[in-house]
Amino acid sequence: MIEITLSDLGAMLLECVGAPEEGMAFEGEQALDTPFIEFGYDSLALLQVTSVINRTYGVVLDDDAVSEAETPRQLLQLIASVPAGRSGPLTGTAPAASTASAGFAGKRVLVTGATRGIGRATALAFARAGARLVAGCRTEGDAAKRLRTELDETGAEFTIVAADVTTSEGAAVLAGGAREWFGDGDRDARGVLDVLVNNVGVDGHVPFDRLTEAEWHRVIGHNTTSAYLVTHALLDVLADGASVVNVGASVALRGRPAGVHYSASKAAVIGFSRALAKDLGPRGIRVNTVAPGVTETDPEEGLPPQLVARLTALTALGRLGRPEDVAGAVLYLAGDSAAYVTGTTIEVDGGI
Ligand X SMILES: NC(=O)c1ccc[n+]([C@@H]2O[C@H](COP(=O)([O-])OP(=O)(O)OC[C@H]3O[C@@H](n4cnc5c(N)ncnc54)[C@H](OP(=O)(O)O)[C@@H]3O)[C@@H](O)[C@H]2O)c1
Q: How far is the CB of 86 from ligand X (least distance, A)?
A: 25
Catalytic amino acids?
A: 262
Residue 72 or 292 with smaller CB distance to ligand X: 292
Which residues are 111's β-sheet partners? 135, 197
Residues that bind ligand X (CB under 6 A): 113-119, 136-139, 143, 164-166, 199-201, 222-223, 247, 249, 292, 294-295, 297
Residue 78 or 253 with smaller CB distance to ligand X: 253
What sections of 252-337 are H helices per DSSP? 260-280, 305-314, 323-334
Per the CB < 8 A criterion, the answer to whether 247 and 201 are in contact is yes
Residue 274 or 283 with smaller CB distance to ligand X: 274
Per the CB < 8 A criterion, the answer to whether 177 and 154 are in contact is no
Residue 4 or 156 with smaller CB distance to ligand X: 156
Residue 66 or 165 with smaller CB distance to ligand X: 165
Q: How far is the CB of 251 from ligand X (least distance, A)?
A: 7
Return d(Cα 163, Cα 221) in angstroms, integer.
14
Q: How far is the CB of 304 from ligand X (least distance, A)?
A: 14
Q: How far is the CB of 9 from ligand X (least distance, A)?
A: 24
Per the CB < 8 A criterion, the answer to whether 93 and 65 are in contact is no
Q: How far is the CB of 294 from ligand X (least distance, A)?
A: 5
Angle, vertex CA 250, rays to CA 315 and CA 141, nearest 5: 105
Q: How far is the CB of 245 from ligand X (least distance, A)?
A: 11
Residue 79 or 197 with smaller CB distance to ligand X: 197
Element (H, E) at 345: strand 345-348
Q: Tell me which amino acid residue 87 is.
A: S
In the chain, % helix, strand, coil (3-state, to 5) comes to: 50, 10, 40
Residue 9 or 160 with smaller CB distance to ligand X: 160
How many Cβ atoms from other residues are within 10 Å of residue 104's Cβ?
A: 24
To the nearest 10 degrees (0 to 180), the angle between helices 6-16 and 72-80 is 100
Q: Cβ-count burial of 57 within 10 angstroms (0-12 exposed, 13-18 middle, 19+ buried)?
A: buried
Spatial CB neighbours of 76, under 8 Å, sequence gap ≥ 6: 4, 5, 6, 9, 32
Q: How far is the CB of 39 from ligand X (least distance, A)?
A: 29
Cα separation values, 130 from 219, 222, 335, Å: 33, 29, 12
Return d(Cα 57, Cα 86) in angstroms, integer.
6
